[in-house]
Amino acid sequence: MKKFIKKSGMALGATVLAFSAYATQAAETIKVGVLHSLTGTMAISETTLKDTVLMMIEEQNKKGGLLGKKLEAVVVDPASNWPLFAEKTRELLAKEKVDVIFGCWTSVSRKSVLPVVEELNGLLFYPVQYEGEESSKNVFYTGAAPNQQAIPAVDYLMSEDGGSVKRWVLEGTDYVYPRTTNKILEQYLLSKGVAKADISINYTPFGHSDWQTRVAEIKKFGSAGKKTAVVSTVNGDANVPFYKELANAGVSAQDIPVVAFSVGEEELSGFDTKPLVGHLAAWNYFMSVESDANAEFIKGWHTFIGDKKRVTNDPMEATYIGFNAWVKAVEKAKTTDVDTVREAMYGIKVPNLTGGIAEVLPNHHFTKPVLIGEIQADGQLEVVWETDGEVPGDAWTDFLPESAKIISNWQDKKINCGNYNTETKKCSGQNL
């Protein structure tokens, strides 16, 4: 009881503070919540996305805002602490009353936010490639689903241009994204006629720094006379020692190419990339892509951040697409009310940065082109292969038997569900 009084007292104090802040603010604004870690492990990646949202807001305000109102950013710092993500979401939705949230990076942070946005009916734009197997009414997934990154990357390596790879090492950090992705990839490879003995799956802990044994084993696995490739879902910090060991052990991209799903321009700027030329990355955007929209975006980013050396990357593009789609939907709906905006989102088309169009699908995913790039000596990625046009994001993969029968459609009123079982014709509710 004492605790309750203390808490409610604090809440009261906060409300008063917020209220006085309101009073001093210009009449009315549209509030945009920014939920990215600015401290802790994930700050490396997430700070950039916070800046991207701020840049988009600034540009929108220069164009006269939205619905005649200015946009106002509410930045919070969940500090790479997963439970704190949920608390900060509650703060954004209940206290700050934001109209939309852009945020999260790791899947575990998204999973922690999920119950809160669903309970308080918020709207979250999640800008990072992820493992799929999810579709919430309150979340739009602007990054790639597995079929927009992992599957095409494997297809490329199996093709003649990619080296006709026959043997696979699935190397990942031990958490939900690599485990799910590798489960999907294993099923996919088996369905393509790859023998079980030709697939090796391994996990290492977060921040693993001693890669001697793993690299020696990859080398051995790769010397069985069949062309071998490594599909890496190794997470951020462990990548530098991994690639360093590969380079020093003389594993060149020509012998055993490594295709990574979480290494982009931002991560490469922390590498000495000269020994890594030819290793691959699969994304929906590369900074090196030549298009007018991209050139303008890079110019805007350099001006905003005040540093010409800063790179752009895929999650930034996803943030860009998500933000523009939301703006367009709000303009269409003429309100920021979550349910109305959500309805207005479906079918919205916004240009992406690689010269194509991103369309919002009823399963809350987007259409995206898939690009495979090779690492260059200057730390950029050059496109060596891309899909013809955009690939629609698939929330539930077709390569796991239990997921293949599940679909997601929030537009069709008859289904109106994120995980609808087409066999039992039942919806298993929200992702709680």
> What pairing do the DSSP bridges indicate for beta strands 100-103 and 70-76?
unpaired
Of 239, 262, 324, 397, which lies in the binding site for other proteins, with binding defined by CB under 8 A?
239
Closest to 311 in 3D by CA, of 323, 292, 298: 298
Q: How many CB atoms lie within 10 A of CB 1?
A: 5
In the beta sheet, which residues pair with residue 368?
391
The 325-364 site mask, x for binding other proteins (CB under 8 A), equals: ----------------------------------------
Helix axes 292-305 and 314-333, enclosed angle (nearest 10) = 100
Question: Could you say whether residue 214 binds other proteins (CB under 8 A)?
Answer: yes
Question: Could you say whether residue 225 binds other proteins (CB under 8 A)?
Answer: yes
Token duo for residue 285: 């955007």
Question: Could you say whether residue 293 binds other proteins (CB under 8 A)?
Answer: no
236 vs 393 by CB, closer to other proteins: 236
134 vs 171 by CB, closer to other proteins: 171
Question: Could you say whether residue 41 binds other proteins (CB under 8 A)?
Answer: yes
Cβ–Cβ under 8 Å, residues 263 and 311: no
Question: What sections of 230-347 are H helices per DSSP?
Answer: 239-248, 265-268, 292-305, 314-333, 338-345
Closest to 159 in 3D by CA, of 264, 290, 259, 242: 259
Please state, in angstroms and rounded to a whole number, the distance separating the CA atoms of residues 53 and 103: 9
Q: How many CB atoms lie within 10 A of CB 424?
A: 9
Question: Could you say whether residue 244 binds other proteins (CB under 8 A)?
Answer: yes
Q: How far is the CB of 359 from other proteins (least distance, A)?
A: 29
In the beta sheet, which residues pair with residue 426?
421
The 160-179 site mask, x for binding other proteins (CB under 8 A), equals: xxxx----------x-----
Q: How far is the CB of 180 from other proteins (least distance, A)?
A: 17
161 vs 402 by CB, closer to other proteins: 161
Binding site for other proteins (CB under 8 A): 39, 41, 43-44, 47, 160-163, 174, 202-205, 207-210, 212-214, 216-217, 220, 223-225, 237, 239-241, 244-245, 247-250, 253-254, 257, 266-267, 269-273, 275, 277-278, 374, 376-377, 379, 382, 384
